[in-house]
Amino acid sequence: MIGSILIILISGFVMGKIFEKLHLPGLLGMLLAGVLLGPNFFDLISSDIINIADDIRLLALILILLRAGLGLKRETLNKVGVLSLKLGSIPCLLEGATVLLLAYFFFGLEFIEAGILGFIIAAVSPAVIVPSMLKLKDRGLGTNRGIPVMILAGASIDDVFAITLISIFLGLTAEGADNSIFSLLAIPREIIGGVLFGLLVGYLLVKLYEKIKLTETDRIVVLSIGALFAYVVSDILQVAGLLAIMVAGAYLLEKQKPFAEEFSAKLKEVWAFGEIFLFVLIGAIVDVSLAIEAGPIGILIVTIGVLVRMFGVYITTLGSNLNAKERLFCGISYSPKATVQAAMGGVPLAMGLPNGELILALSVLAIIYTAPLGALGIDFFSKRLLSKDEKNNLSG
């Protein structure tokens, strides 16, 4: 296992730097390294690592979401909160419904299977979006309008919507329509519950820091434990765990600003390791042959779905303080797929659904197709569509 970790770190680091030298996002190189190292090509990663890859990716995601939360200022959240809620719901519903209809007509899927596919494909990827938005904040791009924060919050809400709707359609295959449609109530419950639980975790951390004298290292350990606690207990409570982590970080920034900013800077350094593991291991689970099986029609369906989502983002932001260029950038930012598709793509096949293999193939295609292009699009268009906040590159 140690040898595999060494291979992952070396290959991910080197490929990331090569792509950066080519003026491409480094994560694309890490994804490619994972594809080549994984079981579908050279098979150089130990099966022990592959077996726990989901947990490693989750730890990396929790790390980056905690850092994101530590940069969410209350005034910025107040400014973009309602818009983030709309961005996390309306475009997801539009894209999911579009893919549902296209899969129903082009592949002849039953309505329920088409619905499962539609919302697996519709979910955006925090694994790609969060690091990209944090880089924009570091560069001061779009921060004067709170765009990175708005997109961060919207991405978390989007996944709540998508995963809930996937669960509803999966439930229709076994439990019946009444129980599954009742599950729609889970959407507001998960979002509101995630926010409230995140505030509680943040409050408990602040009180702990006030009551007990801890060294700087101990405070960091306690915060890390708090983030993991927020995720684990959120799962038990059935509230949005990733959203809870971000909210807890934001609360800590509000009440313990010097420490929060210092820890955020330390996390930025640690993220250099987390990023490599996250994207190399995402690449490792990708089966390119499955994506090829989905064919041109699969590419067409994913493309139309993304374009409909971009249109949804554009109309959702009408009437906001964003200009046309910034609204277009928001649409581009919500195009990458990876996390949910990797986690949920194989579930229908495991359940024995007739078209489970096709759903998995299209899920893999969505990762291969949109994750690189989306990351590249965010990097390329951010410099051309967003204004730079010269006063404070780390604001909002």
pLDDT of residue 202: 94
Task: Give the global pTM.
Answer: 0.76
Backbone angles phi, psi at 141, to 5 degrees: -90, 120
More confident position, 290 or 309:
309
Q: What average pLDDT does this structure show over 186-193?
A: 80
One-character DSSP codes across 88-123? TTHHHHHHHHHHHHHHHHHS---HHHHHHHHHHHH-
Distance between CA 49 and CA 40 in Å, rounded? 15
51: number of Cβ within 10 Å? 9
Domains identified in the chain and CATH numbers: 26-385 (1.20.1530.20)
Distance between CA 100 and CA 109 in Å, rounded? 9
pLDDT of residue 217: 83
pLDDT of residue 390: 61
* pLDDT for 396 beyond 70: no
- State pLDDT tens for residues 103-129: 999 999 988 899 999 999 999 988 789
Q: What average pLDDT does this structure show over 234-255?
A: 87
**H helices then E strands: how many in the chain?**
19, 0
* pLDDT for 26 beyond 60: yes
* Residue 395 pLDDT class (50, 70, 90 cuts): very low
* Residue 25 pLDDT class (50, 70, 90 cuts): confident
- Please provide the average confidence, as pLDDT, over all residues in the chain: 86
> Would you give the DSSP letter of residue 183?
G
Stretch among 41-55, 167-181, 235-249 having the lowest mean pLDDT:
167-181
Highest mean pLDDT among 6-10, 136-140, 232-236, 350-354: 6-10
* pLDDT for 180 beyond 80: no
Stretch among 64-68, 106-110, 132-136, 162-166 having the lowest mean pLDDT:
64-68
pLDDT of residue 394: 39
* Residue 259 pLDDT class (50, 70, 90 cuts): confident
